[in-house]
Amino acid sequence: MATPRTLVPILPPVAALLLLLVAASSIPLLAAAQPADACGGAPDQAAADGACHDVPRALRLKLIAIPTILVSSVVGVCLPLLSRSVPALRPDGGLFAVVKAFASGVILATGYMHVLPDAFSSLTSPCLPRKPWSEFPFAAFVAMLAAVSTLMADSLMLTYYNRSKPRPSSGRDVAAVADHGESPDQGHRHGHGHGHGHGMAVAKPDDVEATQVQLRRNRVVVQVLEMGIVVHSVVIGLGMGASQNVCTIRPLVAAMCFHQMFEGMGLGGCILQAEYGRRMRSVLVFFFSTTTPFGIALGLALTRVYRDNSPTALVVVGLLNAASAGLLHYMALVELLAADFMGPKLQGNVRLQLAAFLAVLLGAGGMSVMAKWA
């Protein structure tokens, strides 16, 4: 009876991530269906006539970018997961709270300074018909809807998980739940075996229930955050892979390496707090690490087909970026920053709270500076 319940948190996010990858992969095919015109025809002539348009050099840079960004992504997302071996970086430590605040600032700036401006740029492009795209702020509207939809999904998923998990009703049930690794505090409740059958101090049912609710909330945060990151990562990679402009690709590779590393640190911290098993952690790390290289490879393979300034590509990419921006704004402000700063750890330590504020500003500021290149 326990097996189906353990699969519940795994199958929905994996299926959703696969669906998002399939949807993003269809963008080049949709763009290819557009007739050639002043916007959707040949590549930009200004780039083609200048020294920046160099197909062989662009190809070499993109081939270098794929493994480089992949390694940066893996390092970033795995650093928090390996922090259990470092006492100072354990999830209940102050340094972990500061590092997580820095990464949350990175995610916040990613939504505001990178993804949302790209959405406005796509949906207000002169290549699109003036009606209706120039008469209504579609990017802001879709971002708002995405934020509200994320709130709804967050609430409904948490309700589903809470109802799917039985509430411990006795000391034996509490001990069984703790013994099966559901609680993040496992490993800290073992006694010294003085007359206790299992050498374990039995927790109160209310304490275990509160721990379980927080654990399920952390898992919902990870799943929703990963979906938003996957969307904009594929779109960014697709644009880089389809570009032949060396002057654009060269700084973008370096910026994307830092971007993926810091964003991965934020996601990795959330995965660590979600207390997932090795299989689910591997799935989440795999999707985060491979989506941008996948987008680059897809754009590289379809360079002759994909036109990033065709009307369909502009609309699809713009709407996806707007939705991703709204999701990232909600997750960064509500689920990450507000949840941590209003929590007992930071509220009970003013110095730690000020250090976390500084970390947020540094993370958001650093990612904002990168908006010049990426």
Give a yes or no: residue 216 inside a domain.
no
- Predicted local confidence at residue 235, as pLDDT: 85
- Expressed as residue numbers, the domain containing 43 is 2-157+221-370
Shortest CA distance to 219 belongs to which of 295, 138, 306, 160? Answer: 160
pLDDT tens profile 315-346: 988 998 999 899 999 999 998 899 899 988 89
Give a yes or no: residue 124 inside a domain.
yes
- Predicted local confidence at residue 205, as pLDDT: 59
Give a yes or no: residue 208 inside a domain.
no
Give a yes or no: residue 341 inside a domain.
yes
Burial bucket for residue 352 (CB in 10 Å: 0-12, 13-18, 19+): middle
Give a yes or no: residue 185 inside a domain.
no
DSSP codes, 134-199: TTS-HHHHHHHHHHHHHHHHHHHHHHHHHHHSPPP-SHHHHHHHHHTT-STTTTSSB---SS-SSS
Give a yes or no: residue 188 inside a domain.
no
**Number of compact structural domains in the chain:** 1
Give a yes or no: residue 193 inside a domain.
no
Residue labelled with tokens 């990232």: 328
Instruction: List the chain residues with pLDDT less than 70.
Output: 1-51, 88, 165-207, 374
Residue labelled with tokens 């590289």: 300
pLDDT tens profile 20-47: 555 555 555 455 444 444 464 444 444 4
Give a yes or no: residue 248 inside a domain.
yes
